[in-house]
Amino acid sequence: MPAEAAAVLTLNGLSARVGGKVVLRDVNLSVKSAGWLAVVGSSGAGKSTLLRMILGLRRPACPTSGVMTFDGVARDLTKPAPGRPADISLVPQSPAHGLDPLRRLGWQWAQLARLKLGSAGQTDQHTALFNALGLPGPANQWPHQWSRGMQQRLLLAMALIDTPKLLVLDEPTSALDPIIAAQVLSEVQRITSAAGISVMMVTHDLAMASRFSNDVAIMEAGRVVEAGPTDQILANPTHAATQDLVSHRHWARAPRLPLVAE
């Protein structure tokens, strides 16, 4: 029997409050090294709050207990920390949260490359990344000159620029047409698999989770109510929340077609 993959990130006993309201309750989960975990739940389940805790953000929710271990380093989440751990890249749900509308896209890419890589030049690897995501290289365009879907794909490229150990996707398909979404995630899966990057995808879309994730965690009312291998959880859901999600989703798989710029 093959040994289970080590975890790049684990959360143990994470709870959080907003004022007097408990918004996360004793959350335990792990993301395997080079694996893909989907955190699935309806609106208000606590998915976004969970992400904020991982990224070191303490407002509006404040952690009251919990330990996060990332890349072998344990961190007490109740104690102040200097922001997001290195080697975690986030793709936010909305491009408006990741791109400056008053700066040209080429300038934003160059600044990020200079910060992450020490050079603003575009490499063959970056060109291949743009091509894989169906994007032209960012030059003198403004964000508003690209569609929201193209902006979201550029944020994906930005998140992958320095090969992080963990890529966090916050509702990555919300800005994309369903067919384009499946194509983009297929490319992300190929790129991250080849580079050994772990992925944590937060989504309400159980169909997408079933297609791309190795493991799934179902959230309801601030708790992880069921977690495990995706195929196992979907074939034999035991919690009422999981059963409800499974019974109300379709499992059609979008075809993999070449990506084209919109």
| pLDDT tens digits along 147-161 | 888 898 899 999 999
- Residue corresponding to tokens 């990057």: 197
pLDDT at 175: 65
Strand partners, 199: 36, 167
Closest to 190 (Cα-Cα) out of 133, 261, 252: 133
Cβ–Cβ contacts within 10 Å for residue 66, how many?
Answer: 20
Q: What is the mean pLDDT of the chain?
A: 87
Q: Write out pLDDT tens, residues 175-205.
A: 677 777 888 888 899 999 999 999 999 998 8
Please report which confidence band the pLDDT of residue 122 belongs to, taking 50, 70 and 90 as the band edges. Answer: low
pTM: 0.89
Question: Please, what are the domains in the chain?
Answer: 7-247 (3.40.50.300)
Instruction: Provide the angle, in degrees to the nearest 10, between the axes of the packed helices 178-195 and 124-132.
Output: 140
- The Cα 28–Cα 10 span in angstroms is 7
Higher pLDDT, 207 or 100: 100
SS3 per residue for 98-159: CCCCCCCHHHHHHHHHHHHHCCCCCCHHHHHHHHHCCCCCCCCCCHHHCCHHHHHHHHHHHH
Residues 28-87 pLDDT 10s: 999 999 999 999 998 889 999 999 999 988 889 999 999 999 999 999 999 987 777 889
At residue 261, does pLDDT exceed 70? no
* DSSP assignment of the chain: -PPPPPEEEEEEEEEEEETTEEEEEEEEEEEETT-EEEEE--TTSSHHHHHHHHTT--SS-EEEEEEEEETTEEEETTS--SSSPTTEEEE-SSGGGTS-TTS-HHHHHHHHHHHHHS--SPPHHHHHHHHHTT-PPP-S--GGGS-HHHHHHHHHHHHHTT--SEEEEESTTTTS-HHHHHHHHHHHHHHHHHHT-EEEEEES-HHHHHHH-SEEEEEETTEEEEEEEHHHHHHS--SHHHHHHHHT--------------
Cα-based distances in Å from 103 to 43, 95, 152: 32, 14, 16
* Structure-token pair, residue 18: 């907003």
Q: CA 183 to CA 198: how far, in whole Å?
A: 19
